[in-house]
């Protein structure tokens, strides 16, 4: 049974370290690989809160505004605990897995 | 080859799969089948050449969901080729040119044609006729009988098109009437039913490929595949093209949307709960004043571990419209033809006997469209025949001598004529089998492609609305959903019209990310003018621009240093184009799709192009299309492992065979197809590497026994055989033994017990990404057999 987790860490490095400590990803001969129970890890990065705006010629008028933090989605057959780093954007999620509902993260 | 396959203990070809299983041809008892996982949906190209979500189990179940279907012609002799079928009145006469003349003295009486069927109450009909030689007055038609259904007053030269709803089941005649002041001619009268398959309340009407509602009331149809099959999961899509007030609620056998009030394409999934109908605004819910079209219902599954058999290498054929020439084989004498000079029709052919002869017809042509003209020359005596599509001076081609000739010409003017005549010296001979059909491009010949298992890496489409271009940043471009089918054969491409010839005319996505390689791809079809599509990736340290020629399917030009480009033909004029660049730094990536008729990037003003399926992914090449609708979307990696068994893999000698192509020439990580014990210490594996090599290697008890490399590329289809026997290892590629090792050990019997498209562990970073037409394990083969096995 696959579970989808949506997480948000202060920084990209903190997120990757957390996933390594949790065993979601492994370091094998200097390369980061998925653990056998991990189906996918998606490094989403910064999530847009307010999109940039442009004039008629395509010139940027206002820069995009981003949510704080660095977002990572995980699909795993393991029951994982991300503590306060787990988020539940549900139908407002910025990312989804193909064939799964937009708000498919746990808990349902 | 067939005898060799009889020898194999494992044969995997792209033939069968289950959710979570890739099924072998041999052994046939299931003991050799592979485990497969992806845990996501994915798309493939199916045998018909269509981009298909593997979770989709059916084609579109809705009949006439785009309201484009037309019934049979209800008017006999609407082109007035003969002086028959119409009941005329004083003041109205047949013209020898093949139309009706009204001289203004006809009064208010009726010129009547009895249709081939009685008009049906509440059905919508498309009525088309042409006014020629217009002088004055107005004319109108009606469906006569009971309470008449009356069309609009029309005047002026031109083709008049009206959609009209029959308002009385007693309507049983078609006539022009009540037009006492009209002076002019009528030609090409056509009446056809539209909106087949739909039942609708009176406030709904159908025309111009949409269904239009004026308020309450419903429209519905029955879908036999969903009758009595409650619990079926369906994906429902529809396009609201106009909303003045209210909205649309679609209820598909209980799987229902909310009331949607926004113009655009809308999709929802649900599970059927009843055996009723597909309803649009059942019980008047929605109370729409507006229009809807492109309604589709597709049966889908929740299964996420469906392997993909992907097809490519298709053959193509001309896609043609219906025949526009009447009596092109002259089997009905000169009917439908105009004969000029001494030209005549006899013995089933059209004859040219002297100077000035012409044989012509007046099909309904559209300026700017392409037409394929085909004809035979027989009884050739002398001179050259020339065919004009239009008037003299318009597009034409010549033919000399007996034979069959064809050409694709553009209708350069609005003149609706195709004429055969002499070119220079007088043509003396005969013509036959004359044909004019609209040329719609090249289409895939179904089942002409070759299938292969497709295994791809994880990839995320960063574009959040891959098919809804109204969500993209657009400058000097207007977009609208077109009636041009997209490569999935279900949805429709977006038509982009460039409003200025300026270089800053584009449609764009902005992404901020840290990347190595980034690939931008999109499906594109040429529109009315410009032959080039342009992908521009900018605002980075390695900006690139790549122009693609949509006339001949080639990469036309590029600037910067793109690391990869491709253009792939999907038929019907649609190409998937892609460009790749790299960046060493965090960047703001801008991907631009722009029409151009030169390498400058300036589109022609009012030029059009068609787009569908945009994708930006952080990979050095484009992978299979990943649809998105509001978020970025990830397709997970394909994982195919645990095929075979100790009983079907001989550990002491044998051959690992694969007919494969990798997705890239060099891989950042080694990619393996392996036979093993499940541990790295005992394994034999075919690999390709970061340095562009491929080969095979063997470890016994953790000790390297052989590593035979081949300095070649494997992105093209290759047949590779890895022979292993104590002190007799060899690598064969495409019929040639490319390397040997005569000092290498093997495993004890029963050691090798599985085949993986990955390393022995079936995890980590060595998954094979590529296309596999065949994989097999053989007992030891002779060199002659290996040569035969691997010869392309």
Give the percent of chain B with pLDDT over 90: 65
* Mean pLDDT calculated for residue range A38-51: 92
The mean per-residue pLDDT over the stretch B148-159 comes to 93
Report the C-alpha gap between A95 and A87 in whole angstroms.
Answer: 13
pLDDT band per the 50, 70, 90 thresholds, residue B75: very high
The pLDDT > 70 percentage for chain B reads: 96
pLDDT tens digits for range B323-334: 999 899 999 899
> For chain B, how long is the longest CA-to-CA vector?
106
Most confident region among B76-80, B325-329, B691-695 by mean pLDDT: B325-329
CA of A7: how far to CAs of A2, A41, A90, B388, in Å?
16, 11, 12, 67
User: Phi then psi for B6, rounded to 5 degrees?
Assistant: -60, -30
- Please check the confidence at residue B356 and state whether its pLDDT lies above 60: yes
Q: Is the pLDDT of residue B588 over 60?
A: no
CA distance B694 to chain A (A): 21
Q: Tell me the DSSP string of B297-348.
A: EEEB--------EEEE---EEEEEEEE--TTTT-TTTTTT-EEETT-EEETT
Nearest-neighbour CA in chain B from A89: distance (Å)? 12
User: Cis omega before residue B27 (within 30°)?
Assistant: yes
A-facing residues of B in 698-737 (CB < 8 A) are: none
Q: Is the pLDDT of residue B598 over 80?
A: no
Predicted confidence (pLDDT) at residue B460 exceeds the cutoff of 60: yes
Q: Which of residues 213-272 of B touch A (CB under 8 A)?
A: none
Which stretch of DSSP H or E encloses residue B675?
Answer: strand B671-676
**In this structure, what DSSP letter does residue B476 have?**
S
Using one digit for the tens of pLDDT, what is the confidence trace for B510-524? 777 667 888 999 999
Q: How confident is the model at residue A98 (pLDDT cuts 50, 70, 90)?
A: very high
Alpha-carbon gap: A40 to the closest alpha carbon of chain B (Å)? 6
B633–A95 C-beta distance less than 8 A: yes
Contact A40, B636 (CB under 8 A): yes
pLDDT of B574 > 60? The answer is yes
Is B512 close to A52, i.e. CB distance below 8 A?
Answer: no
- Report the SS3 class of residue A92: helix
In chain B, how many H helices and how many E strands?
2, 64
Q: Chain A: give the shortest CA distance to residue B539, in Å.
A: 13
Cβ-Cβ contacts under 8 Å, A104 against chain B: none
Between chains, do A58 and B632 touch, taking CB under 8 Å as contact? no
How far apart (Å, rounded) are the C-alpha atoms in residues B734 and B731?
Answer: 10
**Contact call for A98 and B473, based on CB within 8 A:** no
B677 to chain A, any CB pair closer than 8 A? The answer is no
Over residues B24-51, the mean pLDDT reads 94
Q: How many beta-carbon pairs under 8 angstroms link A with B?
A: 90
Q: Are residues A102 and B636, on separate chains, in Cβ contact within 8 Å?
A: no
* pLDDT at B2 exceeding the cut of 70: no
B-chain CB neighbours of A65 within 8 Å are none
d(CA B740, CA B722): 10
How does the average pLDDT of chain A come out, rounded? Answer: 90
Does the pLDDT of residue B594 top 70, yes or no?
no
Distance, in Å, from the CA atom of B708 to the CA atom of B738, rounded to the nearest integer, reads 9
B461 has a pLDDT exceeding 80: yes
Q: Which of B772, B677, B782, B792 is nearest to B7 (CA)?
A: B782
Residue B696, beta-bridge partner list: B686, B708
- Among B455, B472, B774, smallest CA distance to B638 is for B455
User: Is the model's pLDDT at B596 over the cut of 70?
Assistant: no
Interacting residues of B156 by C-beta distance below 8 A, sequence separation 6+:
B131, B134
- Residue B575 has what pLDDT? 95
* pLDDT reading at B6 higher than 80: yes
DSSP-derived letter for residue B142 is: E
Are the beta carbons of A95 and B632 separated by less than 8 Å?
A: yes
For chain A, say whether B458 makes contact (Cβ under 8 Å).
yes
Q: How confident is the model at residue A35 (pLDDT cuts 50, 70, 90)?
A: very high
Residue B405 has a pLDDT of 97
Identify the band that residue B589 occupies on the pLDDT scale cut at 50, 70 and 90.
low
Q: What is the pLDDT of residue B688?
A: 84
Distance, in Å, from the CA atom of B493 to the CA atom of B487, rounded to the nearest integer, reads 8
C-alpha span between B52 and B46 (Å, rounded) = 6
Q: What is the pLDDT of residues B109-136, one digit of tens each?
A: 899 998 877 899 888 899 999 999 999 9
pLDDT at residue A108 above 60?
Answer: no
B positions 299-358 inside 8 Å of A (CB): 302, 304
- The pLDDT value given to residue A63: 86
Q: What angle do CA B466, B531, B571 make, to 5 degrees?
A: 60
pTM of the predicted structure, to 2 decimals: 0.79
pLDDT value at position B61? 93
Give the per-residue pLDDT at B593.
67
Nearest CA in chain B to A28: B764
What are the E-state strand segments in B246-288? 250-252, 255-256, 264-271, 278-280
> By CA distance, what is B471's nearest residue in A?
A51
Mean pLDDT of B531-536: 86
Provide the pLDDT confidence category of residue B72 given band limits of 50, 70 and 90: confident
**Helix or strand or coil: residue B60?**
coil
Distance CA B417, CA B362 (A): 4
**B74 neighbors B85 (Cβ within 8 angstroms):** no
Q: Which of A2, A64, A98 sits opposite B42 (nearest CB)?
A: A98
Q: Are the CB atoms for B57 and B299 separated by under 8 Å? A: yes
Interface probe for B, chosen from A99, A100, A102, A103 (most Cβ of B below 10 Å), is A99
Counting other chains too, the contacts that A8-13 makes at CB distance below 8 Å and 24 or more residues apart are A8/A67, A8/A68, A8/A69, A8/A70, A8/A71, A8/A72, A8/A85, A8/A87, A9/A69, A9/A70, A9/A72, A9/A85, A10/A68, A10/A69, A10/A70, A11/A69, A11/A70, A12/A43, A12/A45, A12/A70
B210-214, strands of its sheet edge to edge: B204-207, B210-214, B289-299, B233-245, B264-271
Tokens 């119409």 locate to: B86
Q: What are A's interface residues with B at a Cβ cutoff of 8 A?
A: 2, 26, 28, 31, 33-36, 39-40, 42, 44-46, 52, 54, 56-58, 64, 73, 75, 93-100, 102
Q: Is B519 on the interface with A (CB under 8 A)?
A: no
Of A56, A95, A97, the CB nearest to B475: A56
The pLDDT value recorded for residue B591 is: 59
Element (H, E) at A41: strand A38-45
Q: Is A40 in Cβ contact with B458 (below 8 Å)? A: yes
Q: Is the pLDDT of residue B747 over 70?
A: yes
What's the mean per-residue pLDDT of chain B? 90
Q: With beta carbons under 8 A apart, name residues in chain A contacting B473.
A: 54, 58
> β-pairing, B683-688 with B671-676?
antiparallel
Whole-number Å distance between alpha carbons of B65 and B507: 29
Residue of A nearest to B510 (CA): A52
Closest by Cα among B553, B550, B535 to B609: B550
CB-CB under 8 Å, A2 with B39: yes
CB B588 within 8 A of CB B486: no
* Region B680-686 average pLDDT: 95
CA distance B531 to chain A (A): 24
B669 has pLDDT over 80? no
Phi-psi map region of B613: left, alpha, beta (phi>0 left; psi -120 to 50 alpha): left
Query: What pLDDT shows up at residue B514?
Result: 66
Contact A58 B630 (CB under 8 A): no
Nearest CA in chain B to A36: B763
- Strand B34-37 and strand B43-45: the pairing is unpaired
Answer yes or no: do B55 and A99 touch at CB < 8 A. Answer: yes
């Amino acid at each position: 049974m696959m579970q989808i987790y949506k997480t948000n860490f202060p920084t990209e490095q903190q997120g990757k370290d957390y996933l390594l400590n949790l065993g979601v990803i492994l370091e094998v001969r200097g390369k980061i690989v998925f653990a056998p129970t991990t189906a996918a890890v998606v490094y989403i990065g910064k999530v847009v809160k307010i999109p940039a705006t442009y004039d008629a010629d395509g010139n940027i008028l206002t820069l995009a505004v981003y949510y704080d933090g660095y977002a990572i989605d995980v699909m795993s057959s393991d029951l994982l605990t991300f503590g306060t780093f787990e988020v539940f954007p549900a139908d407002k999620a910025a990312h989804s897995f193909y064939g799964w509902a937009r708000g498919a993260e746990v808990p349902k | 080859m067939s005898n060799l396959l009889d020898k194999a203990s494992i044969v995997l070809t792209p033939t069968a799969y289950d959710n979570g299983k890739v099924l072998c041809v041999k052994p046939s008892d299931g003991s050799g089948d592979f485990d497969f996982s992806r845990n996501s949906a994915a798309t493939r190209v199916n045998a018909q050449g269509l981009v298909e979500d593997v979770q989709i189990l059916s084609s579109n179940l809705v009949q006439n969901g785009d309201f484009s279907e037309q019934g049979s012609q209800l008017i006999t002799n609407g082109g007035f080729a003969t002086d028959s079928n119409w009941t005329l009145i004083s003041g109205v006469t047949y013209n020898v040119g093949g139309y009706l003349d009204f001289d203004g003295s006809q009064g208010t009486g009726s010129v009547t044609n009895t249709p081939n069927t009685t008009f049906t109450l509440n059905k919508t009909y498309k009525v088309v006729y042409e006014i020629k030689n217009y002088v004055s007055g107005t004319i109108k038609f009606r469906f006569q009988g009971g309470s008449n259904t009356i069309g609009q007053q029309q005047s002026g030269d031109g083709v008049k098109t009206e959609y009209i709803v029959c308002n009385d089941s007693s309507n049983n005649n078609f006539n022009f009437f009540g037009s006492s002041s009209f002076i002019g001619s009528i030609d090409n009268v056509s009446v056809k039913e539209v909106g087949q398959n739909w039942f609708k309340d009176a406030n709904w009407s159908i025309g111009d490929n949409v269904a239009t509602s004026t308020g309450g009331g419903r429209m519905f149809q029955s879908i036999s595949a969903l009758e009595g099959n409650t619990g079926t999961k369906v994906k429902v899509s529809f396009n609201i093209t106009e909303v003045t007030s209210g909205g649309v609620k679609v209820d598909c056998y209980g799987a229902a949307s909310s009331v949607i009030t926004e113009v655009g394409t809308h999709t929802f999934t649900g599970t059927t709960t009843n055996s009723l109908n597909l309803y649009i605004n059942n019980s008047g819910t929605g109370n729409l004043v507006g229009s809807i079209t492109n309604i589709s219902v597709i049966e889908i599954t929740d299964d996420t571990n469906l392997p993909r058999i992907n097809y490519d290498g298709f053959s193509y054929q001309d896609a043609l419209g219906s025949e526009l020439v009447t009596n092109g084989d002259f089997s009905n004498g000169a009917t439908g033809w105009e004969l000029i000079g001494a030209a005549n029709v006899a013995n089933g052919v059209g004859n040219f006997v002297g100077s000035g002869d012409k044989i012509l017809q007046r099909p309904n042509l559209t300026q700017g469209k392409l037409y394929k003209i085909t004809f035979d020359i027989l009884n050739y005596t002398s001179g050259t025949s020339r065919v004009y599509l239009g008037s003299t001076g318009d597009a034409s081609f010549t033919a000399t001598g007996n034979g069959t000739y064809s050409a694709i010409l553009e209708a350069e003017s609005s003149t609706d004529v195709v004429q055969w005549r002499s070119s220079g010296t007088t043509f003396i001979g005969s013509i036959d089998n004359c044909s004019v059909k609209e040329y719609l491009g090249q289409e895939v010949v179904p089942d002409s492609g070759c299938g292969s298992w497709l295994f791809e890496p994880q990839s995320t489409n960063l574009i959040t609305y891959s098919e809804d271009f109204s969500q993209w940043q657009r400058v000097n471009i207007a977009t609208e959903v077109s009636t041009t089918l997209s490569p999935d054969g279900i949805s429709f491409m977006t038509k982009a019209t460039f409003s200025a010839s300026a270089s800053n005319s584009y449609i764009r996505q902005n992404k901020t990310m840290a990347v190595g390689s980034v690939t931008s791809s999109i499906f594109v079809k040429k529109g009315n003018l410009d032959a080039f599509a342009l992908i521009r990736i900018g605002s980075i340290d390695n900006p690139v621009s790549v122009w693609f020629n949509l006339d001949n399917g080639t990469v036309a030009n590029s600037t910067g240093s793109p690391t990869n480009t491709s253009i792939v033909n999907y038929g019907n004029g649609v190409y998937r184009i892609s460009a790749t660049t790299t960046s060493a730094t965090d960047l703001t990536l801008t991907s631009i799709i722009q029409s151009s008729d030169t390498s400058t990037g300036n589109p022609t003003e009012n030029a059009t192009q068609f787009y569908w399926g945009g994708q930006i992914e952080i990979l050095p090449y484009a992978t299979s299309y990943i649809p998105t609708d509001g978020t970025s979307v990830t397709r997970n990696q394909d994982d195919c492992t645990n095929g075979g068994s100790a009983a079907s893999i001989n550990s002491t000698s044998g051959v690992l065979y694969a007919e494969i192509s990798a997705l890239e020439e060099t891989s950042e990580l080694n990619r393996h197809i392996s036979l093993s014990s499940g541990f790295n210490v005992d394994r034999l594996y075919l690999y390709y590497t970061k340095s562009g090599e491929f080969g095979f290697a063997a470890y016994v008890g953790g000790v390297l026994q052989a590593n035979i490399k081949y300095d070649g590329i494997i992105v093209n289809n290759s047949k590779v055989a890895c022979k292993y026997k104590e002190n007799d290892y060899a690598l064969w590629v495409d019929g040639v033994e490319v390397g040997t090792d005569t000092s290498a050990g093997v495993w004890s019997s029963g050691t090798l017990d599985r085949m993986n498209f990955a390393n022995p562990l079936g995890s980590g970073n060595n998954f094979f990404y590529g296309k596999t037409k065949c994989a097999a394990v053989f007992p030891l083969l002779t060199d002659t057999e290996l040569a035969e096995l691997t010869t392309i």
